[in-house]
Amino acid sequence: MPVQVLPATPKRLRILGDEEIEALYGRPRFTSDERQEYFAFAPPELAALAQFSSRPSRLYSMVQLGYFKARQQFFVFRLREVDEDIRYLQERYFPTIRFQAVEIAKGTRLKQQRAILALFHYRYCDAAARQHVTAKAQQAARVCAKPVYVFRELWQYLTTQRLVAPGYTVLQEMIGQALTAEQQRLSTVVRTHLQPADIAAFQRL
């Protein structure tokens, strides 16, 4: 029985460098000044987190909120992995209370995320929203064939629409498909409107 050879999976586009990806998607590593900025919570922010009554849950929600303000992204982490941020929050908001930083259940973490989204009028980029992002990618591909241009257009769109950006690999694939579709569209236009002799002349250039 002959061995079936599967087609090779196309490589994803390299759009951003590692540092750029980290700046957009990496969990924040705050400096002292950044902690003062992003962990300074206005009364409406503190009110939104008040529903999380246990101290560990409240701390976790504060970290999530500060990180969201910095990146407009959510991150999964253990409290001991962000101990400097935890110590800062304890000293600033719970100076007379000491408690063990236990881990938070997934359901609580997701509930915190929903509260933060509502606070900033953001939403997840669900299937319906991704259709609009895909259409935006196709529009941008018609303007410029550079992947980084399309990426920046999509990022600006996500920001203005207050959408949590999909993962980098999702955007890579979306942009690659948009650019491929645009190449195919242009090829069809050329084949439809040019004579064979004209196409041959272009190919010799």
pLDDT in tens, 160-180: 999 999 999 999 999 999 999
DSSP symbol at 14: -
The pLDDT tens digits for 7-66 are 443 567 889 999 999 999 999 999 999 999 999 999 999 999 999 988 889 999 999 999
Q: Cβ contacts of residue 119 below 8 Å, gap of 6+?
A: 44, 45, 48, 65
| Percentage, residues of the chain above pLDDT 70 | 87
Specify the pTM.
0.84
Q: What is the helix (H) or strand (E) element at residue 164, kind and residue range?
A: strand 163-164
Q: How far apart are CA 151 and CA 181, in angstroms?
A: 16
Residue 41 burial (CB count, 10 A): 18
pLDDT reading at 199 higher than 70:
no
The pLDDT, as a whole number, for residue 121 is: 97
Distances (CA, A) of 19 to 15, 22, 26, 28, 173: 12, 5, 9, 13, 20
